């Protein structure tokens, strides 16, 4: 097993077609708090808020939901720890790690898949945040209503202004580099916590403690139905984090030690997610008593508060949180992925801007308003996330037994460990297709709760296919036979 990389260790004679400064081993100076802040940015968002609220509306009792949340987020923690290890040891990002399983050129397949998914969601998240900002501006400045009467490509003039503002703010944070992104997340997550605690306190005081409940459903399930919904809830939690966890190596590569990664994952995932979920359900459960209807959008909740100062602070906090999650989940990933396609021509910053500009041409508001199109477009791509997990983890932990050849990651030599057949590993590609043939139909078909399991079914099939084709079990059987003969 390779030892943890020390700062300054670089591959020998890297091929310029596979190497640039952004893909090279990084300077490792992050600590556990930085990883904790990464997960706060990922969780403390409108999407995380709505997810938590929806789980408490499944008809389960409060303690049943909390158990489901805990199980689901522990699964995420296990995958995050597993994905983090190879990148932390080598200091290289997700697409470079994929070279071990897919080959130095074949790694572009998972990189492009992850990159396209991120671009689509980057555009949608940016538009959703800008739309929330638009609604708040209209409430505070009714005179802006005239700006909504003129539209271009399906978006009003005021909508374009808000979208452009959010787009530029995110681009400015990204352009300044990973240190700026780290510092931004270090304060954005705690800021949302401060607002959420204050909001929860105000809700309890205004609605009365007797109107606060850990159940948002009018009916309560029992027996087998309750157990099944608990399983579904846990799977939904795991599925929600599948995208950002897949390329978690893009961030763990900056950590000084693997212990710091694990500590940050512990505080950032199970502890942080449970606390945030409890605060969320407290806030949501009190909104009917105060506003006459249940509000599951935190921006709409804070916007309705009578105090203009409180509303401004709340909206600012959630906008900052949206910027944070969009950068860590949907900006950094395509930056590395697109840079990986042509390292000598595309830098990390250029890759990120390709993604950002591409998100504009997607016109995410039109995409979002066409549920069928987004379902099939994103569904097909998301259906491949599970198989990618299965192949990458099976290859690193079982086939290669956690051994990494740093020089081979950046070598085009036909004799290098990850060259395979012209830089492509056909075994990994076949395994990806096999897993996709299972996960994509399950993801797209109207199977109800079963569709939520697509990531796990596809991942399991791809992992088994990759291990079998790599000769893993035949090799183990031959080794046992040889040992018995000796």
- The pLDDT tens digits along the chain (486 residues) read 344 444 447 888 899 999 999 999 999 999 999 999 999 888 877 777 778 888 877 788 888 888 999 999 999 999 999 999 999 999 999 999 999 999 999 999 999 999 988 888 888 888 878 887 887 788 778 889 999 988 899 999 999 999 999 999 999 989 988 899 898 888 887 888 888 888 889 999 999 998 888 777 777 777 888 899 999 999 989 988 998 899 999 999 999 999 999 999 999 999 999 999 999 889 888 898 898 888 877 877 877 777 766 777 777 777 777 787 788 878 899 999 999 999 999 999 999 999 999 999 988 888 777 766 665 666 676 788 999 999 999 999 999 999 999 999 999 999 999 999 999 999 999 999 999 999 999 988 877 888 889 999 999 999 999 999 999 877 666 555 555 555
Lookup: tokens for 405? 């050849």
Residues in a beta bridge with 156:
151
DSSP characters for 125-193?
Answer: HHHHHHHHHHHHHHHH-GGGGGGGS-EETTEEHHHHHHHHHHHHHHHHHHHT-HHHHHHHHHHHHHHHH
* Whole-model pTM over 0.85: yes
Helix, strand, coil tally for the chain in percent (to 5): 75, 0, 25
Return the pLDDT at 127: 87
pLDDT of amino acid 377: 63
- Rg of the chain over all Cα atoms, to the nearest angstrom: 23
Q: What is the pLDDT of residue 47?
A: 75
Q: For residues 378-415, b (16+ Cβ closer than 10 Å) or e, as one string?
A: bbbbbbbbbbbbbbbbbbbebbbeeebbbebbbbbeee
Under a CB-based contact definition with an 8 Å cutoff, are residues 29 and 254 in contact? yes
For the record, the structure tokens of 301 come out as 């909740």
CB neighbours of residue 71 within 10 Å: 17
Burial class, 486, CB count within 10 angstroms (exposed 0-12 / middle 13-18 / buried 19+):
exposed
Q: Are 249 and 93 in contact (CB under 8 A)?
A: yes
Annotate 462-482 with DSSP letters as a single string. HHHHHHHHTTHHHHHHHHHHH
């Amino acid at each position: 097993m390779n030892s943890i990389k020390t700062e300054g260790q670089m591959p020998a004679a890297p091929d310029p077609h596979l190497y640039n400064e952004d893909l090279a081993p990084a300077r490792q100076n992050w600590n556990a708090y930085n990883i904790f802040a990464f997960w706060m940015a990922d969780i403390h968002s409108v999407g995380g808020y709505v997810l938590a609220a929806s789980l408490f509306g499944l008809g389960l009792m409060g303690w049943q939901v909390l158990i489901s949340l805990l199980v689901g987020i522990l699964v995420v923690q296990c995958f995050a720890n597993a994905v983090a290890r190879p990148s932390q040891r080598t200091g290289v990002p997700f697409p470079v790690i994929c070279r071990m399983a897919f080959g130095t050129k074949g790694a572009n397949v998972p990189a492009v898949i992850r990159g396209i998914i991120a671009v689509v969601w980057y555009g949608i998240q940016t538009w959703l945040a800008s739309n929330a900002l638009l609604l708040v501006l209209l409430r505070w400045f009714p005179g802006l209503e005239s700006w909504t009467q003129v539209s271009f490509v399906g978006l009003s003039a005021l909508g374009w202004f808000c979208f452009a503002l959010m787009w530029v703010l995110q681009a400015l944070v990204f352009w300044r580099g990973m240190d700026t992104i780290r510092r931004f997340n270090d304060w954005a997550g705690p800021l949302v916590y401060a607002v959420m605690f204050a909001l929860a306190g105000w809700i309890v005081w205004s609605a009365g403690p007797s109107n606060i409940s850990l159940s948002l459903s009018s009916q309560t399930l029992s027996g087998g139905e309750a157990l099944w919904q608990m399983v579904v809830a846990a799977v939904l939690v795991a599925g929600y984090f599948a995208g950002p966890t897949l390329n978690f190596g893009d961030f763990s590569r900056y950590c000084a030690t693997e212990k710091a990664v694990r500590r940050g994952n512990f505080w950032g995932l199970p502890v942080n997610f449970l606390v945030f979920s409890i605060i969320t359900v407290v806030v949501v459960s009190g909104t009917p008593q105060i506003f006459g209807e249940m509000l599951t959008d935190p921006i709409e909740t804070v916007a309705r508060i009578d105090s203009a100062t409180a509303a401004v602070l709340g909206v600012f906090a959630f906008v900052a949180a949206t910027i944070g999650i969009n950068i860590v989940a949907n900006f950094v990933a395509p930056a590395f992925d697109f840079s990986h396609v042509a390292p000598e021509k595309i830098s990390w910053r250029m890759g990120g801007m390709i993604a950002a500009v591409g998100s504009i041409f997607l016109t995410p508001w039109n995409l979002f308003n066409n549920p069928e199109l987004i379902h099939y477009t994103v569904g097909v791509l998301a259906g491949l996330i599970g198989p990618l997990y299965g192949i990458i983890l099976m290859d690193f932990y079982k086939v290669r037994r956690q051994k990494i050849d740093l020089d081979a990651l950046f070598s085009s030599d036909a004799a290098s460990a990850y060259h395979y057949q012209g830089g492509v590993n056909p075994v990994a590609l076949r395994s990806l297709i096999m897993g996709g043939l299972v996960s994509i139909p399950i993801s797209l078909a109207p199977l109800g709760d079963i569709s939520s399991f697509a990531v796990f079914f596809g991942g399991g099939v791809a992992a088994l296919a990759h291990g079998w084709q790599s000769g893993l079990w035949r090799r183990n059987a031959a080794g046992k036979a040889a040992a018995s003969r000796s």
